Structure 1
C-alpha cells in the first residue's frame, strides 16, 4: 500500500475520534428537570426513566425512558425536551399524571347486586384512574351483564375533579333490555333434524321454565357437543362451519348454525401392531363391537383408553396408543399403533402439603412403595386411603418426575389440609327425645398422629348423656388400634314407661387382617352399671320391667367382636364398593355380671355408579338378640327398636316405633334401604331419593321379607362444621295413623 494512502487513513480515523476525547463533555447529560408532576415524586420519575447525570445522551435512551415511564401506568402523557449548553445536555421531563381515585359510586344496577360488581372490578380509592383502568372496569361490568343475557348493557363514567388531581367517580350503568333467545336454526343438516340437535345443546330458546339467556361460554361448549353428537352417530368428518347471531328490532336473539355432516361410517376391520407385551387378543378384546355397528367416536375413545390402562397398570406410563382411522367406502378401518417404551419403577415417594399430619401417618395409607413398578390401581387406592383419613380435601393430586434415561420416576402426592378439630354446640331434634341440646369437642387428628378424641354432652328434659372417647389407630407405630370410652346416660323411655341410669366404660383393640384386602378385626370389653325405675306407677308395667326395677343396680359385663371389610371409594360419600360388617356381643356367662345375652348383627352396604353423577346405595341389616343362662329376658334397652333414622332407621315412621304388638321391643330385626344420591354442590350438599323397608320380631324365625313396613321420600345431606346433617321427608306406606308423612333430622349417615 502507498505510504500516502496509509497516513491519510490514519488521519481520518483520528479525526473521527476527536469528539470522544476532546468534546465528550458536550454530549453528556448535565441536568434533568421534571415538571407537571403532582403526586408522583421526582425521585420515582428519575429512577423509572433510567436517565442519570453523566450518561451519554442518545435518542434511544430518551425513547426507552419514555417507554419505561409509561409502563408505570401513572401518566397520561410524557414528553422529554433536550437543549445544549456549555456543560452538556439539559433534559426536561414533562409529565401529565392520571388522576387518583378519591371515591366512587355505582348507579343504575338493578339486576346485579352492588357487591357482585365491586368484587368484579376491584376498584379501590387511591388507584390511578388511567385509560386502561377505565376500559378494564367497563369490560368487567359488561361481562357480568353479558353472562346474565343483557347484551345491550352500557357503562359510562362521570368524573368530578378535586384538588391535587383527585377525582370522585360515578359509574353509571345502563342495563338495557335483556336479550332472550327466540330461535335456533340449522342449515346443512340433511340427516339429523333440528329438533335432535337442539336437544344436544344447553343453550335453549326461551320457553316454559327456560330463561333463554345467551351465554357465550356455554354456546361455545354447545358447538363441541354438536360435533361430538355427530361423531357418535358415525359422522366422523362433521363440523360446525359457521354460526351467526342476529337481533331483531326488539333486541331479541336468533342463532343460525351452518353444519357440515359428511358421510356416515360403520366399523370395518380393526388391527393392532407394535405390541409385544400383550397379545392382539388381549388388547383387541377391549374393542369389541357389533357387526355392522355405526362408528361411535366417543365409545371408541373410551374403549381405547382401556388399552392404555392395561399398559399404565403394568408401569408403562410412557406408552403411546395411537389409532389411524381410514374411511373405506361406508366403513372405517382402524389400525392401532402401540409404542410400549420403558417400564417405570418408583424410586422415591414425596408428600407435599401436609402441614398438620405427620408424614408417617400418610405413608401408612400408601398401597405403592419405593421399588415397586408404577401401577395405576395402586395409585388410586393410595389416593382413596389418604382421603378416607378425613384430614385432607378431596382434590388429592399426583405428580411424577422422571429421574433417569430408563424412565424411572419419583412420585409426588399433593395434599391440602382441612380442619380436623371442631367445637360444636347446638340443638338436635328427634321424635323420641324431642328438643335436645348438645356440646361436642372433638379432634380426629390430635398432634398430627391420627389420634381421635371426642367429648360429648347431650341434654334434654328426657335425656342426659356424657361420653368421652379416645382412639389411637397406630399404637406404638404399628397397625394395632387401641381405644377407650367412658360414659354416663340417664334417659326416660316415656313410650315404654321406664327410666334407665347407666354408667360404664370399656376398651377396644383392632388390627388389619393381612390376608383379606380392606378388612380389619376389632374386639373389646366393657362393663356397665344400670338401674331401672318406673316413670308412672299408675301406668302399665310389664313383669320383665318390674323384675329389672326390683333388682336395683345391675352390672353388665360384655365383650364384642367386629369383622369388617370396607372397599368403598369414599367413606364420606361412597359411590362404588361395599361395606360388610359382622358384630357379635356377648354379655355374662364366663364374663360375669348380672345379665346374660348374646347379640348378633350382620350388615352389608353396596354402592354403584349409575349414570352422570347419580349413585345407588343399598343396605341390608339383620339382627338377633337372645337371653341365656339365668337370664330369662333381654334387657329392654338391648332390644331392637326400628323406625326413624339411624342404624335401625325406617324413614316414614317415628323413631323406635316399629316393634311387635304387645312387646316392649324386638328380639330380631330385618331392614333394607336403597338411596339414589346426586351431588348438588360437590361433597358439601347431596340430594337423596330413598326407599326403606323393615320390621322387628319376637323371634328370628318370624322374619318375613314380604311383610315389612315400607317408607319412601327425599332428602338432602349437608356437610357442615358440626358434621354431616341430614334432612328427610318420608311417607310411611304402612302407617296406621291418619298422617303418613314424617320429617326426619339426623347427624351422620345411615349409609
Structure 2
C-alpha cells in the first residue's frame, strides 16, 4: 500500500513538472500585446492594470506562461466589472509568426454598462440613510462598482458592531436593468451585554497576566472599540503570534453573549538577524544607513511575558561618497506593567558609537577634516504609553557618560543625566515607499552635567511633520517641516547642537550650515565647526514612478540654522536649493541620484563658499528617500 502511494505521488509530481515545462513559452519572444473590442477604456488605461510587457529574452519569457496570460485576462475582467460592466468577457489568443514571435491578443466584449439609478434603505433606526449610503461609498447616477459596493458592506456592519450590535445583517433586493434600483433591508438586531469571557491557547503565559490587559469586562455592554483595544494590548505583550476575539453563545432572551479570546503563543526563545536599509536620527542630524542587527530574546520570563533582550547593531551611515560606522550594543529587560499602570517599561544597559562626518569638505576656516566620533554608554529607563498602533508617547530617563573625539584636552567622558518625552503619530501606508499618510514627531529633553566641574545644562524641543499625498496613480507629493531649539541654561557644547546639510536635509550643501563655533581639540589647538541652536527646515518633493522600477523626483529644500528663530522673516538668511533626481526602487529601498541647484546661499555673504573641484561635487547619491 505504501509503495502504491509513493508511485502515485511520484506520478503526480512528474505530471506537475511536465505541465509546468509545457506551460512555459521559452522558445518564443513576446513581440506585442493588442487589445481588441475596448471602446470605453483606451489601450493605455488597460496596460496599467494588466502590466504585461514584451519579452525578448529567455529569462524574460520564463514568466510568460499560458497560466500567466489567463490570469491577466481575469485581471481585465475584474477591472471592467469594477467599472460597471457586470457581463464583460475577455478571451486571450496567441499568434505565432515564422520567426517564433508571439503576438498576444486580449479580445474584449464589454456588453452593457450598469448604472445606479436609485438606492433606498429600510429597517434602520440607529444609523440614518445618509450615514449608511456614505459608508456604502456609491452614488446615484454613477456606474455600479460592484466590488466597492460589497467591500463597504463590512464598513456598515462594523459600524453597527461599534454601536453594540455585533449580529446586525443586510439583505438586498434588485430591480435589474442597465439602470439598477437597489433596496437594502437592515436587520439591526439587539444590543448585548458580555456574559462570560473565555481564554484559550495560552500554554506557558499565565492567564492572570493576560487578563490584566483586558479592556473589556463581564457584565459590560459589547463595544467593538474596547475589544480591538484588548486585541492590540495582548498582541503588544510580545508573547503571541496571533490574537483573536469573537462573540459566541448569543442569548437573545437575556441579551447576552460570550467572548472567546484565542491566542497562539510564539516561541519563548529566539535568535533573529535583521538587515536592510533605514532612516534614523542622531542627536544632530537625520541619516540613512545599511544595517545588520542580530539579537537574542526571551519573551516569557517567569511566565509573565517579561522580556529579556541582548542586541547588537551595526549601521553603515551613507553620506554621498562617505561611509561612517555606527555601533550599538544593549542588554534590556522589559515588563508589560509598571506597578498598577499598563506602561511597558524597559531598563537597559547600552553602548553607542555615533559618527558625524557628512561635512568633511574643507574651507579656508574649517580645520575639521575627519568629522566627529561620539561615544556614550550608560543606563536607560523608558516607559511607553501606546494609544493605538499609530500613536505612542515615550518617557525616558538616562544616566550616561559622553565623549567626543573633538572635545576636551584629555578626551575624558562627561557624566550626564537626561530626561526626555517623545510623542509620535505615524499612519504611513509604507515606511520605505510612502504614498499617503503622516509621520509627526514631538520631542522635549533636559540634559544636566552631573559633575560639579561641568557646566552642561540645556533644554531642547523638536517638532517634525512629514506628509504624503497621492496625486495620481504614480505620483506622490511629499513634504516635511522641521523646527527645533536648544535653550542653554548654563552651557551647551557646540558639538551637541544642530547641523544641517547633506543629501537628507538641504541637498545643495555638503558642509554644515549655520554659525561658526570654536572647539578645543585633544592637543589643545582649536578647530571650527558650523552649527546652530535653532533650526527651521521645509522640504517639498514630487515623486513619479516610471517603468522598470525607475522614477524621477523634483525637490525644493529651504532651511535656516541660527542661534534663535528671531530672523525667521529674514528671507536672505535661508539656504534654498531646488533640483531633479532619478531613483531606482529596490526591495530594501530606493537608490537615488540627485542634482541640486542652489537658489540662495547666505554663505556668500559670510565668505564661506566651498570650492567644487569636479562634476561629482555637484551630484548627490542617496539611499532611501530624503524623508
TM class by shorter chain equals 0.5 to 0.7
Corresponding residue of 2:505: 650
Aligned pair 1:472/2:334, yes or no?
Answer: yes
1:562 aligns with 2:426: no
- Kindly provide the CA deviation profile for residues 42-86 of structure 1, in whole angstroms up to 9, marking residues without a partner as x: xxxxxxxxxxxxxxxxxxxxxxxxxxxxxx2747xxxxxxxxxxx
SS of aligned partner of 1:510: strand
Q: What residue number does 2:307 align with?
A: 450
User: Alpha-carbon deviation of 1:604?
Assistant: 3.5
Question: 1: CA distance between counterparts of 2:308 and 2:247?
Answer: 33
Alignment of 1:659 with 2:513, yes or no, is yes
Distance 1:590 1:363 in 2: 46
1 or 2, which has the higher helix percentage?
1
State whether structure 2 residue 556 is matched by structure 1 residue 707: no
| Aligned mate of 1:742, from 617, 620, 624 | 620
Tell me the CA shift for residue 635 of structure 1: 0.7
- Does the CA-based 8 Å contact 1:350-1:412 persist in structure 2? yes
Secondary structure, counterpart of 2:17 in structure 1: helix
Q: Does the Cα contact within 8 Å between 2:294 and 2:313 map onto a contact in 1?
A: yes
Give, in whole Å, the separation in 2 of the partners of 1:225 and 1:135: 33
Report the secondary structure of 1:733's partner residue: strand
How do 1:398-437 and structure 2 match up within 5 A? 398=244, 400=246, 402-406=248-252, 408-413=257-262, 415=264, 417=266, 421-422=271-272
Counterpart of 2:347 in structure 1 is 483
1:445 Cα deviation after fit: 4.0
Distance 2:131 2:199 in 1: 35
Question: For 1:335, which of 160, 183, 191 is the aligned residue?
Answer: 183
> How many residues of Structure 1 are paired with residues of Structure 2 in the alignment?
559
Is residue 582 from structure 1 mapped to residue 443 from structure 2 by the alignment?
Answer: yes
Q: C-alpha separation between the residues in 2 aligned to 1:351 and 1:404?
A: 19
Tell me how far 1:733 sits from its aligned partner: 0.9
Q: CA deviation at 1:141?
A: 1.6
Q: Quote the offset at 1:588 in angstroms.
A: 5.4
Unaligned runs of 5+ in 1: 1-71, 76-126, 151-176, 534-544, 680-684, 719-724
How big is the shift at 1:562?
A: 0.7
Structure 1 counterpart of 2:596? 733
Matches for 1:260-279 after TM superposition, within 5 Å: 261-279=110-128
The structure showing larger relative contact order (alpha-carbon pairs under 8 Å, at least 6 residues apart) is 2
Give 3-state SS (helix, strand or coil) of 2:50's partner. coil
Please identify the structure whose Cα radius of gyration is greater.
1
1 CA distance for matches of 2:417 and 2:222?
47
Alignment of 1:283 onto 2:146 = no
Deviation string for 1:522-552 (max 9, x for gaps)? 142435365776xxxxxxxxxxx7xx549x8
Equivalent-residue separation in structure 2 for 1:321 and 1:638 (angstroms)? 62
Q: Would you say the 8 A contact 1:182–1:212 is kept in 2?
A: no
- What is the CA deviation profile of residues 292-326 of structure 1, one whole-angstrom value per residue up to 9, with x for unaligned ones? 33333334334444323322333434332233221
- Partner Cα separation in structure 1 for residue 239 and residue 468 of structure 2: 23
CA contact (8 A) 1:715 1:729 kept: yes
Match of 1:496 among 360, 364, 368: 368
CA contact (8 A) 1:660 1:698 kept: yes
Q: How does 1:654-733 map to 2 (within 5 A)?
A: 657-660=511-514, 662-663=516-517, 664=529, 665-672=531-538, 693=557, 695=559, 697-701=561-565, 702-703=567-568, 707-708=575-576, 714=583, 728-731=591-594, 733=596
1:335 Cα shift?
Answer: 0.7
Higher strand share: 2
Go from structure 1 to structure 2 and tell me whether the alpha carbon gap of 1:479 and 1:375 turns closer, same or farther (over 3 Å shift): closer
* Residues 463 and 492, structure 1, Cα contact 8 Å, conserved in 2: no
Alignment of 1:1-150 (within 5 A): 72=1, 74=3, 130=7, 132=8, 135-149=11-25
Partner of 1:595: 456
Partner of 2:143 in structure 1? 294
CA contact (8 A) 1:640 1:668 kept: yes
CA contact (8 A) 2:136 2:153 kept: yes
Q: Tell me, in whole angstroms, the C-alpha distance in 2 between the residues paired with 1:318 and 1:216.
A: 44
Q: 1:688 to 1:403 in 2, by over 3 A?
A: farther
Q: Which residue matches 1:5?
A: none
> Distance between the aligned counterparts of 2:193 and 2:552, measured in 1?
43
The 5 Å alignment of 1:498-517 reads 505-510=378-383, 512=385
- Distance verdict in 2 for CA 1:703–1:442, change over 3 Å: farther
Superposition deviation, residue 515 in structure 1: 13
Residue 610 of structure 1, CA deviation: 7.8
Q: Does 1:638 align with 2:499?
A: no
Matched ranges for 1:122-271 at <5 A: 130=7, 132=8, 135-149=11-25, 177-178=27-28, 180=30, 186=36, 192=40, 195=43, 199=47, 202=50, 206=54, 215-236=65-86, 238-240=87-89, 261-271=110-120
Q: Deviation per CA, 1:242-269, whole angstroms, max 9, x where unpaired?
A: 7777777887767777766444343222
Over 3 Å counting, the alpha-carbon distance change for 1:245 and 1:484 in structure 2 is closer
Q: Deviations over 1:468-499 (max 9, x none)?
A: 45353534574342534454769897863797
Query: SS at the partner of 1:141?
Result: helix
Quick check: 1:524–1:559 contact (8 Å CA) kept in 2? yes
Measured on the aligned residues, the alpha-carbon RMSD in Å equals: 5.7
Deviation per CA, 1:377-413: give whole Å up to 9, x if none. 55555566666677766xx564636234447343445
TM-score by length of 1: 0.57
For residue 337 of structure 1, report the CA deviation from its aligned partner: 1.7
Question: 2:526 corresponds to which residue?
Answer: none
Q: Contact between 2:394 and 2:422, CA under 8 Å: does it hold in 1?
A: yes
Aligned mates of 1:233, 1:224 — CA distance in 2: 14
